Chain A
Amino acid sequence: MKISDIQSLDQFTCVQSEYADAEVSSGYTSDLLSDVMAHADEGSVLITIQAHKNTVAVSSLAGVVAIIICNNRPIADDVLEAAASEGIAIFQTAENQFQTSSLIAQHLAGCPAA
């Protein structure tokens, strides 16, 4: 699946759309940034409630291409700016991390082109 495929899903609102539409190869769900840093795959989507600049910094270093912020947690403008300059997409959703992970997993599995 591509980042734009996430954008097309009803559950997600794209709040930072300055991204190159890269392939999303896997997902990682965690609120601990050191854990994300250590284990998230290059080209993955990060599912988290951690909505601050360090999330963007870690994502950029780990090669995460998109971030989904769950439970409609507020996202400050400086976070969006940082993500825009790194070219990382950010989505917001009312769903929790479990629901979001399940949804993304289905779409990753249902897309044989990936």
Chain B
Amino acid sequence: MGEEQKTPLQSSLRVQELIYGLKISEVMTKKVFAVSRNCTMRDVQQIMKNNGITGVPVVDSKRVVGFVSMNDLMNALEQGDMGDGVTSHMSGEVQTLAEEMPLSFAISAFNKFSFRSFPVVNKKNELAGILTFRNINLALIRELSRQLREMENQHSAVPETESMDLVKVYQLHRYDFENGGKASSEIKKFLKARGFHAKLVRRVAVASYELEINLVAHSIGGMLSFDINADRVKISSHDRGPGIADVEQALTEGYSTANEWIRSQGFGAGMGLPNVKRVSDEFAIQSAVGMGTMIRAVINLKPEKQNED
């Protein structure tokens, strides 16, 4: 089986899974220093200095209308305009992040834009926090040490071969149709070997395969992870982009953005996501253009909790 060989890969994937598993709201600084439109650049300077921060959002009744970075402040200082109102020096077009997004979306945003921090907004589009690289580093260190402690504690427990529990992560690459299906095939065999009903195994296989093919056909690359216990199979799909502009449309049967080549492979009929949703007991999708897509599908293994197919 080459199980020993797989371990380091699986653990590095666990780190990646962390950035997919954490929400921005769990990582951001919640205590935000913001200014209103009628504040001056000197006010901003005071706030930055006293609190050791490098950027301050400008808000108008809790909505983010601008952002003053250290750079903006330096320019104002150089021009002797420190008495000016913030509106004449702030960047007006602010890229914000939503607090319920996975941390991976934020990392994409840091790569895409040159900003050093992002204002974070809640569902009502109100300022809820601020996210910097420092937040991300601290969160990762915190989570990793927590996981390490957990692993140490679990070490004493002898793993059973007949165990129902399985956590497995697969990496998928764009247009690698050759390997699309491998993960689903392994998971199907795992469940079949444990005696689950063919219909149930089929539902897991459908969800898993469609998500696998979606990653290969539509994303620039991503990962598919399985978290199985006696109660349910949880499949999570995460990618680094390009993101879905209209999620509602993507969930409509027949709608597809697939190119000719993908279609020639027998895909792109616009059935993928609708199929996943249909076979799942729980289904959630989150996507942001330029940042990525996250899909979670849960299939219950206990008969009383299952949906009728």
Contacts and interface: CB of A to CB of B under 8 A. Distances in A.
Q: Do A and B bind? A: yes
Interface of A: 31-35, 37-38, 42, 50, 52-55, 57-58, 60-63
Q: What is the predominant secondary structure among interface residues of chain B facing chain A?
A: helix
Contacts of A33: 213, 265-267
Contact of A34 (B178, B184, B271): B271
B102 interface: no
Contact of B185 (A34, A50, A52, A60): A60
A63 B188 CA distance: 11
Contacts, number: 65
A32 B266 CA distance: 5
Interface of B: 177-178, 180-181, 184-185, 188, 198, 202, 205-206, 209-210, 213, 265-267, 269, 271-272, 275, 278
Contacts of B213: 33-34, 54
A55 B209 CA distance: 12
Nearest to B273: A34
A55 B185 CA distance: 13
Given A34-B271, A61-B205, 14 more contacts: A31-B266, A34-B266, A34-B275, A35-B269, A37-B210, A38-B278, A42-B202, A52-B266, A57-B180, A57-B181, A58-B209, A60-B181, A61-B202, A61-B206
B198 A54 contact: no
Contacts of B188: 61
Contacts of B202: 42, 61-63
B269 A54 contact: no
A61 B213 CA distance: 13
Given A50-B266, A61-B209, A34 B272 contact: yes
A55 B177 contact: no
A60 B192 CA distance: 13
A42 B209 CA distance: 16
A54 B185 contact: no
A58 B213 CA distance: 11
Contact of B275 (A37, A50, A52, A53): A37
**Complex A-B, nearest 6 residue pairs according to Cβ-Cβ distance, in ascending order:** A57-B181, A33-B266, A34-B271, A32-B269, A61-B205, A50-B266
Nearest to A50: B266
A32 B263 CA distance: 8
A58 B181 CA distance: 8
B205 A34 contact: no
Contacts of B272: 34
Contacts of A38: 206, 271, 275, 278
Given A34-B210, A61-B188, A61-B205, A54 B266 contact: yes
A53 B265 CA distance: 9
A34 B267 CA distance: 6
A55 B206 contact: no
A54 B206 contact: no
13 contacts: A33-B267, A34-B266, A34-B275, A37-B210, A42-B202, A58-B181, A58-B266, A61-B181, A61-B184, A61-B188, A62-B202, A62-B205, A63-B198
B275 A54 contact: no
A42 B203 CA distance: 12
